[in-house]
Amino acid sequence: MNHGPNAIDPNVRSILDKIEARDFTIGIMGLGYVGLPLTLVAVAKGFRVIGFDTNPQHVELLNAGKSTIKHIPTEAIKKAADSGQFRATSDFSELGIPDAILIAVPTPLNKYREPDLGYVERSTEDIAAALRPGQLVVLESTTWPGTTTEVLKPTLEKSGLVCGRDFYLAYSPEREDPGNADFGTANIPKVVGADDAGARALASALYNALIDKPVCVSTAATAEAVKLTENVFRSVNIALVNELKVIFERMGIDVWEVIEAAKTKPFGYMPFYPGPGLGGHCIPIDPFYLTWKAREYEVTTRFIELAGEINTAMPHYVVERLANALDRLGGRGLNGAKVLVVGLAYKKNVDDTRESPSLKLIKLIEERGASVEYHDPLVSQIPPTREYASLAGRQSIDMSVQNIAQFDAVLIATDHDDLDWKTLANNAKIIVDTRNAMARANLSGPHIIKA
């Protein structure tokens, strides 16, 4: 028998054979914007999938073949449910059934902007209670470097099983971009990291069976750092272009025109675009996971924190632009005005409102004495949130000619493709556009203000 450095443990080889033969069951914890697309890919690749979710209503809908996320078609869910290869459950005692468990649960910040690993910790405890020899556990949730080894491993080993011998642990960050027509779960390269050779081999083999190109790194912490690096990069560059927007506006220069011209350079430049603030589950949150962890090592993260300050300030800048537009064009102030916010989702063509700047904008505008309604074809009602609980339950109104005309100003916060920009331009008294939607629709006028 080969006992050299490249020898594969017989237990690992047995699991690799099961992956290759598709005689393998994957458990996915969290059937949201990450877990549900991953489920569909795994079923399409021939794997059995058990989806675990704490929301019994979502479980019931998915088992009935109905989608719980608007940009994921019901036809795809129905196909998976009808195949007999997928079922959803809220019974976490079944976590002993899957051969691999992929954790895709939220990792938000608490009110002090510190990491909240509550969902990850509870999921890990549920797994530990059912853990059996031979299982592979992979964390996909974005977190600080060291989480997999320092948080998951000791919790799982409370089962009495030993990591790297009895079970295997890895980290592979999600890279979902909801609404992206060019890149989805199956064709986005997947970074995989683990602290031992067996776990690396298993996680790499599993993701190689699911996606086009897994990228293996040496440790779980390295993979965790990769995801934070990607999102810090975006946060910093968005902050830069947001600051340029403010500077150029004072100079009478259109930042959007600048970006369009700058991006014609075939090297040394990558376009980023300004907006009303950061939204989604990644960019507004992930950099703070790194700044929090860096303090443990007595390292300051001035650059990252400055970017966060700039991006966090953008809703305030937008509201000032709105107030100035009303002063100059509307003959009135913001106090007592009626404002329509167009777009509640954090980005175009999705129904995801997590960390959406629109929620902050509504709150700030109403604090200035205005009344606000919103229109979003993909978000019919504002969902409950911890920070904006008072907004929960508000309904989207129709963007009819009559409705548009009753508002003193319209604020474009999200530029969904299927919105009727011409009707808006022709009937709104004032439009404050944070997404350059009017210009891209070849609409202009003295009542349209870029912000």
Is residue 344 a contact partner of residue 376, using CB atoms and an 8 Å limit?
A: yes
Whether residue 2 has pLDDT greater than 50? no
Is residue 125 a contact partner of residue 155, using CB atoms and an 8 Å limit?
A: yes
Is residue 342 a contact partner of residue 431, using CB atoms and an 8 Å limit?
A: no
In sign, the C-alpha dihedral spanning 136, 141, 146, 147 is negative
CA pair distance 124, 137, nearest whole angstrom: 9
- 244-252 — which CB contacts under 8 Å span 24+ positions? 244/274, 245/274, 246/317, 249/450
Whether residue 116 has pLDDT greater than 70? yes
DSSP state of 384: P
Give the Cα-Cα-Cα angle 229, 234, 239 (nearest 5 degrees).
Answer: 125
CA pair distance 445, 442, nearest whole angstrom: 10
233-450 fold = Rossmann fold (3.40.50)
Please determine whether the domains at 10-218 and 233-450 fall in the same fold group of CATH: yes
pLDDT, tens only, 250-261 = 999 999 999 999
pLDDT-based confidence at residue 176 (cuts at 50, 70, 90) = confident
CA pair distance 317, 255, nearest whole angstrom: 15
Q: What is the token pair recorded at 365? A: 């505008």
In percent, the amount of the chain with pLDDT more than 70 equals 98
Whether residue 279 has pLDDT greater than 90? no
CA pair distance 40, 46, nearest whole angstrom: 10
Q: What is the token pair recorded at 377? A: 């074809």
Q: How far is CA 339 from CA 57, 88, 123, 319, in A?
A: 35, 42, 42, 11
The CATH code of the domain at 10-218 is 3.40.50.720
pLDDT, tens only, 319-359 = 999 999 999 998 889 999 999 999 999 999 999 999 999 99
pLDDT-based confidence at residue 110 (cuts at 50, 70, 90) = confident
Is residue 343 a contact partner of residue 358, using CB atoms and an 8 Å limit?
A: yes
CA pair distance 73, 75, nearest whole angstrom: 5
Catalytic residue status for 282: yes
Is residue 72 a contact partner of residue 40, using CB atoms and an 8 Å limit?
A: yes
pLDDT of residue 183: 86
Identify the residue with better confidence: 283 or 447: 447
pLDDT, tens only, 209-229 = 999 888 999 999 999 999 999
Whole-number mean pLDDT of the chain?
94
Catalytic residue among 152, 282, 285, 339: 282
Is residue 325 a contact partner of residue 334, using CB atoms and an 8 Å limit?
A: no
pLDDT of residue 7: 62
In percent, the amount of the chain with pLDDT more than 90 equals 86
Q: Show me where the domains of the chain are located.
A: 10-218, 233-450
